[in-house]
Amino acid sequence: MEKIRYAIAGSAGRMGRTLIEAVQQDPEAILAAALEHPSSPFLGRDAGELVGAPCGVRIGADLDAALAVSDCLIDFTRPEGTQQHLDACQRHKVALVIGTTGFSAEGKAAIEAASKNIPIVFAPNMAVGVNAVFRLLDVAARILSQGYDIEVIEAHHRHKVDAPSGTALRMGEVVAKAIGRELSECAVYGREGHTGERPAQQIGFATIRGGDIVGDHTVLFAGGGERIEITHKSASRMPYAQGALRAGRYMRGRNSGLFDMQDVLGLK
């Protein structure tokens, strides 16, 4: 079977470098292109040098040229960049893995529209372990739907620009759906001052930003006399990168469609 040719957006960033390393370690993958913004000081450098393994692929800013030699683009950038990638991938009929978070409703609608023309895996967290936690939360929430207050606590590095994280929000969505609630109607994203007694139906979110925390997430079910906590902690970004490559393999041979990691892992 031919190797999948990957283009990586934001290749000089923390996640981009991890993706380069993951592609180089994957026998089914090849790095076809590495992209950065036009003003990046890394333009022209060998992408592999960023992870100590030169590969002959130069970092560039020409999106169309990169996609012309690629089967799949992996995008862990920002929503405004993803919109440009959506348009370009449709022009070149290139599959797209989106790990970017912080999209507006309009941004999500654009992704759904693009999926009618190309295959897209769009997930707030690509790590296999996190997606196992999503399934565990569904089961736990159904069992603990009465008599337990639910809180989602997440922590990330100081450079993360959106809050709560996409993973935390997805955890909230999974729990809310399992117990028959709409997250938009019961979520609270901050508490300060005299808040009054906690409503029983509320799902609370707490956000921590600091240092180099890769990503910690906990869903707390607090009942009378007991607490149940389901936690996932990331020690590195490699699980996200490996999950993204798994998503790329999942789309091999597909012409269109919108998928998430639950599809990729066969959990639906």
Q: Any idea which residues carry the catalytic annotation?
A: 156, 160
**Rounded Cα distance, 192 and 264, in Å:** 40
**Rounded Cα distance, 28 and 100, in Å:** 24
**Rounded Cα distance, 135 and 140, in Å:** 9
Instruction: Please tell me whether residue 124 adopts helix, strand or coil conformation.
Output: coil
Helices (H) and strands (E) in the chain, counts: 9, 12
CA 92 to the chain's CA centroid: 23
Q: Where do we find the tokens 């869903």?
A: 219
Residue 26's beta-bridge partner residues?
Answer: none
